[in-house]
């Protein structure tokens, strides 16, 4: 029970952050200056999927990313021993994995643009 409450709080906060970021992405991506860079930056796992993937796969990746980050941070913040070290290590892993996914999404987008004739 001690781990459930921080996990649920982290998941809720992560979901709230994810929804806010999703709304910002929608507002910035669909307009006069359409640019996929911001989408690739904040939702790299969804942006890295194949363009012909099922929409439910992409939406699930969109809405699960930040709640999972929040749940991991909630679990890590619950341990009393070496709390700061665990949180910093987990944050470094999340940032490193996120950065790798951003690079992969940008590479996949560049390959897709090249296959379309460099539009």
Number of domains within the chain: 1
Q: For position 52, what pLDDT does the model report?
A: 64
- How far is Cα 89 from Cα 76, in angstroms, rounded to an integer? 10
3-state class (DSSP) for residue 79: coil
Q: Residue 25: give the domain boundaries.
A: 4-115
- What's the pLDDT at 94? 81
pTM of the model: 0.62
Confidence (pLDDT) at 26? 79
Collect contacts of 50-55 with beta carbons under 8 A, ≥24 apart.
51/112
Q: What is the pLDDT along the chain (119 residues), one digit of tens a residue?
A: 577 788 888 888 888 888 888 888 877 777 666 667 777 777 777 766 666 666 777 777 778 888 888 888 787 776 666 677 777 777 888 888 888 887 777 777 777 777 777 55
Question: What helix, strand, coil percent values describe the chain, rounded to 5?
Answer: 80, 0, 20
Note the pLDDT of residue 84: 72
């Amino acid at each position: 029970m001690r781990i459930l409450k921080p996990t649920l709080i982290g998941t809720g906060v992560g979901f709230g952050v994810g929804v806010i970021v999703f709304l910002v992405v929608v507002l910035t991506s669909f307009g006069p200056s359409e640019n996929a860079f911001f989408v690739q930056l904040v939702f790299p796992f969804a942006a890295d999927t194949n363009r012909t993937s099922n929409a439910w796969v992409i939406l699930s990746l969109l809405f699960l990313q930040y709640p999972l980050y929040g749940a991991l941070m909630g679990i890590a913040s619950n341990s009393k021993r070496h709390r700061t070290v665990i949180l910093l290590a987990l944050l470094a892993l999340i940032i490193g994995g996120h950065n790798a996914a951003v690079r992969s999404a940008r590479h996949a987008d560049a390959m897709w643009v090249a296959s379309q004739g460099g539009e």
